């Protein structure tokens, strides 16, 4: 199993199973309802966890909730409410909205607030070792002291922009680990440098090592986090003597495309709105299948058209599972070899977790009417619901349908039509595929 890592700029092989794979993914900053784009890393890394477990790895997925951050203070001030109150409500919404994806939860979802002691201890360690210094209640990381700064994002150290202008800093490139409490901030914590609160980057460094140890396999997040967030996380943790993450996976961003989309949805394409409005009543499956269509490293275009295409694919799989196929006599068309295709499916996911290739193989199986092949492989993506039985037709309807099959087999089409009408009158629709391949019974809306 290999994955592309931003740090090494190449595919990096995982240790063989049953190695322990710790994964840390940067979760949302909770100041508003999460955007559908924030759902992408959530989905990708839960899928990756599922796949690694299926490949016999021992996996622990940690995804944090950033509940102390400038954005939260700013939004709370605008809404004239307590920042803790806002963060709590938005955390709650985040859990509710992502629960609707039906993928389960990460194994741990730490918050900055509950990790405060570890955050302060990590900063103190960096001050002690000379990698950080205090300036009037703030603490800054000495970028110049850390020789490998820029190795993740390939920023040249002399070209790094000042991320946090402050005349008290020794060097414009230095970034804050701790910020003294400012006017208008309604929460603060005690520290050796006075009352204040942590910077965003150190929160993640502390949460990751607290839960996964000083060295772990994978750090993930959106491509927009490479610099400065992840560059700074890496610098701090390595300066503190930790190996930290080995592989750095950055997912491509979700782009809102199409004229209508940018006008009507703009920045309010929340996960909730998408789950409410697209592909109903199969919006959950539609969104998950939509995410499968893009390789995790590439950007993905979200529009009514691309969601419609995903819905069409969802319906196509659904249709296949409505088929009553006698598997004991089923013969696959030429060119469909389940064993060979199964290996290709594994290789697609083992080789940089290529979900579009895996999806293409599932469609090939669909064309070959191989229900079992697909059914066994949908679970990783939370799409096993597509293979779940729908409301079963009552016995007498099935009997009529079977009689009708028999009538068609003997070319008694008048009798076949009569039975079709009876079935329709009872509220069911019988759909023919072919005499050999059977029929479907679908309840009419």
Smallest distance from the beta carbon of 203 to Zn ion, in angstroms?
7
Pick between residue 41 and residue 196 the one whose CB is nearest to Zn ion: 41
Size of the site for Zn ion (CB under 5 A): 2
The interface region with Zn ion, picked from 19-27, 111-119, 348-356, 401-409 by CB under 5 A, is 19-27
3 state SS of 400: helix
Considering only residues 279-308, where is the footprint of Zn ion by CB under 5 A? none
Pick between residue 26 and residue 120 the one whose CB is nearest to Zn ion: 26
Which residues, in sequence order, are CB contacts of 443 under 8 Å at separation 6+? 390, 391, 393, 427, 428, 429
Residue 245 in the binding site for Zn ion (CB under 5 A): no
Contact pattern for Zn ion over residues 175 through 204, marking x by CB under 5 A:
-----------------------------x
Residue 26 in the binding site for Zn ion (CB under 5 A): yes
- Could you tell me the two tokens for 256? 């809102």
Contact pattern for Zn ion over residues 203 through 242, marking x by CB under 5 A:
-x--------------------------------------
CA distance 296 to 253: 9
Smallest distance from the beta carbon of 244 to Zn ion, in angstroms?
12
27 close to 63: Cβ distance less than 8 angstroms:
yes
Tell me if the bond preceding 281 is cis, omega within 30° of 0.
yes
Smallest distance from the beta carbon of 27 to Zn ion, in angstroms?
8
Pick between residue 204 and residue 383 the one whose CB is nearest to Zn ion: 204
Residue position matching structure tokens 């409301």 = 391
101 close to 287: Cβ distance less than 8 angstroms:
yes
373 close to 341: Cβ distance less than 8 angstroms:
yes
Pick between residue 204 and residue 386 the one whose CB is nearest to Zn ion: 204
Smallest distance from the beta carbon of 300 to Zn ion, in angstroms?
21
Distances (CA, A) of 95 to 37, 65, 253, 347: 15, 10, 21, 33
Pick between residue 141 and residue 373 the one whose CB is nearest to Zn ion: 141
3 state SS of 43: helix
Smallest distance from the beta carbon of 107 to Zn ion, in angstroms?
17
H or E segment at 247?
Answer: strand 244-251
Residue 348 in the binding site for Zn ion (CB under 5 A): no
Smallest distance from the beta carbon of 149 to Zn ion, in angstroms?
17
The interface region with Zn ion, picked from 23-31, 345-353, 383-391, 418-426 by CB under 5 A, is 23-31
Distances (CA, A) of 72 to 81, 86, 207: 11, 7, 19
Pick between residue 26 and residue 401 the one whose CB is nearest to Zn ion: 26
217 close to 22: Cβ distance less than 8 angstroms:
yes
Considering only residues 141-160, where is the footprint of Zn ion by CB under 5 A? none
Residue position matching structure tokens 């088929």 = 323
CA distance 290 to 166: 44
The interface region with Zn ion, picked from 18-26, 48-56, 88-96, 362-370 by CB under 5 A, is 18-26
Tell me if the bond preceding 99 is cis, omega within 30° of 0.
no
Contact pattern for Zn ion over residues 381 through 420, marking x by CB under 5 A:
----------------------------------------
Pick between residue 26 and residue 119 the one whose CB is nearest to Zn ion: 26
Pick between residue 101 and residue 204 the one whose CB is nearest to Zn ion: 204
Tell me if the bond preceding 67 is cis, omega within 30° of 0.
no
Pick between residue 208 and residue 441 the one whose CB is nearest to Zn ion: 208
Pick between residue 242 and residue 371 the one whose CB is nearest to Zn ion: 242
| Greatest pairwise CA separation for the chain in angstroms | 93
176 close to 90: Cβ distance less than 8 angstroms:
no
Smallest distance from the beta carbon of 45 to Zn ion, in angstroms?
13
Smallest distance from the beta carbon of 199 to Zn ion, in angstroms?
11
Q: Is beta strand 175-180 parallel, antiparallel or unpaired with respect to 196-198?
A: antiparallel
Considering only residues 83-142, where is the footprint of Zn ion by CB under 5 A? none
CA distance 95 to 150: 34
Question: What's the angle, vertex CA 113, arms to CA 206 and CA 135, rounded to 5?
Answer: 65
Smallest distance from the beta carbon of 311 to Zn ion, in angstroms?
33
Pick between residue 63 and residue 355 the one whose CB is nearest to Zn ion: 63
Alpha-carbon radius of gyration of the chain: 27
Distances (CA, A) of 244 to 16, 182, 241, 375: 20, 32, 9, 38
Smallest distance from the beta carbon of 434 to Zn ion, in angstroms?
54
Smallest distance from the beta carbon of 198 to Zn ion, in angstroms?
12
**Which residues of the chain form contacts with Zn ion (CB under 5 A)?**
26, 204
């Amino acid at each position: 199993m290999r994955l592309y890592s931003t740090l090494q700029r190449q595919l990096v092989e995982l240790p063989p199973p049953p190695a322990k794979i710790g994964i840390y993914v940067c979760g949302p900053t909770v100041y508003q309802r999460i955007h559908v784009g924030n759902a992408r890393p959530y989905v990708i890394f839960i899928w990756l966890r599922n796949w690694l477990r299926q490949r016999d790895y021992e996996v622990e997925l940690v995804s944090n909730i950033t509940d102390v951050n400038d954005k939260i203070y700013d939004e709370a001030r605008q809404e004239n409410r307590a920042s803790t109150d806002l963060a709590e409500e938005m955390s709650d919404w985040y859990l509710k909205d992502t629960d609707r994806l039906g993928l389960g939860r990460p194994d741990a979802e730490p918050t900055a607030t509950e990790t405060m002691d570890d955050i302060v201890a990590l900063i103190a360690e960096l001050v002690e070792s000379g990698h950080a210094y205090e300036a009037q209640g703030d603490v800054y990381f000495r970028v110049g002291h850390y020789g490998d700064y820029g190795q993740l994002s390939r920023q040249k150290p002399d070209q790094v922009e000042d991320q946090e202008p402050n005349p008290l800093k020794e060097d414009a490139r230095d970034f804050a680990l701790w910020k003294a409490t400012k006017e208008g901030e309604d929460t603060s914590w005690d520290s050796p440098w006075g009352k204040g609160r942590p910077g965003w980057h150190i929160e993640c460094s502390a949460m990751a090592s607290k839960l996964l140890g000083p060295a772990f396999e994978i750090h993930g997040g959106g491509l927009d986090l490479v610099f400065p967030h992840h560059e700074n996380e890496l610098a701090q943790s390595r300066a503190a003597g930790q190996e930290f993450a080995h592989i750095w996976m950055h997912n491509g961003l979700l782009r809102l495309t199409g004229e209508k989309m940018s006008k009507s949805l703009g920045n309010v394409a929340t996960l909730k709105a998408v789950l409410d409005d697209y592909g109903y009543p199969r919006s959950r499956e539609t969104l998950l299948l939509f995410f499968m269509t893009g390789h995790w490293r590439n950007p993905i275009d979200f529009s009514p058209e691309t969601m419609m295409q995903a819905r069409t694919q969802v319906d196509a799989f659904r249709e296949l599972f409505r088929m009553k196929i006698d598997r004991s006599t089923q013969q696959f068309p030429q060119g469909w070899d389940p064993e060979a295709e199964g290996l290709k499916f594994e290789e697609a996911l083992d080789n940089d977790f290529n979900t579009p290739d895996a999806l293409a193989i599932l469609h090939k199986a669909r064309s070959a009417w191989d229900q079992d092949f697909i059914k066994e492989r949908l679970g990783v993506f939370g799409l096993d619901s597509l293979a779940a039985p729908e409301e079963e037709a009552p016995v007498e309807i099935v009997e009529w349908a079977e009689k009708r099959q028999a009538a068609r087999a003997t070319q008694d089409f008048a009798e076949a039509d009569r039975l079709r009408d009876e079935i329709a009158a009872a509220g069911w629709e019988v759909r023919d595929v072919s005499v050999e391949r059977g029929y479907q019974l679908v309840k009419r809306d």
